[in-house]
Homo-oligomer: A and B are copies of this chain.
């Protein structure tokens, strides 16, 4: 299992490397953005641990590029405490997991292991539900073969539903995933976006894929 650790802070990087190695991983370190990019492309890593604050090339940029090129490794993003927006952007841009600094080594190890596991059950970046295809890499959606344009939020919502297909997801869960602040959520944005999605995806099609469970939340049809 090979891991790329893109972390600028030398001391932290070295101690994480040590911890990961004790766990049996092979660890490369990149201390700047461009270096991380180069290494990520020239080796085959199982997991890339990416600090968003990197010199030379910004972590978010890397994330975006890697994802759009559909590289095979999973990405675990590290963000500093308080930079909430990074977290949101990170997840939107396709990080597989994130961790807020400061964290415990054990926590990091657990999550890396989880990502490695995930990576080995050859997963298709394209989710298919009936005649709906969601290409999570290219951010492309098709229904009955026809391409559909979704705005970023719409796509994020659809992906979240699709990821939990066959299960009811509550508004709170959706809200938490799409937004960050747990503010006095009196708004009905989620409902509105469900409607937008239905207009683009379910309208003039059957069966309806987006279902409502009264008092519980929404759900996308399973297979």
Residues of A participating in the B interface, judged by any CB pair closer than 8 Å: 11-12, 14-15, 18-19, 22-23, 81-82, 84, 100, 102-107, 138-139, 151-152, 167-168, 170-173, 176, 182-185, 213-217
| 6 nearest A-B residue pairs (beta carbon) | A19-B172, A22-B170, A152-B215, A15-B182, A105-B176, A82-B102
Please state the number of chain copies in the assembly: 2
Residues of chain B contacted by A19 (CB below 8 angstroms): 170, 172-173, 176
Q: List 14 A-B contacts (CB under 8 A).
A: A11-B182, A15-B172, A15-B182, A18-B172, A19-B173, A23-B170, A81-B100, A81-B102, A81-B103, A100-B107, A104-B176, A105-B172, A139-B216, A151-B214
B167 touching A138, Cβ below 8 Å: yes
A173 touching B103, Cβ below 8 Å: no
Closest-by-CB residue of B relative to A166 is B138
Min CB distance, A144 to chain B, in Å?
22
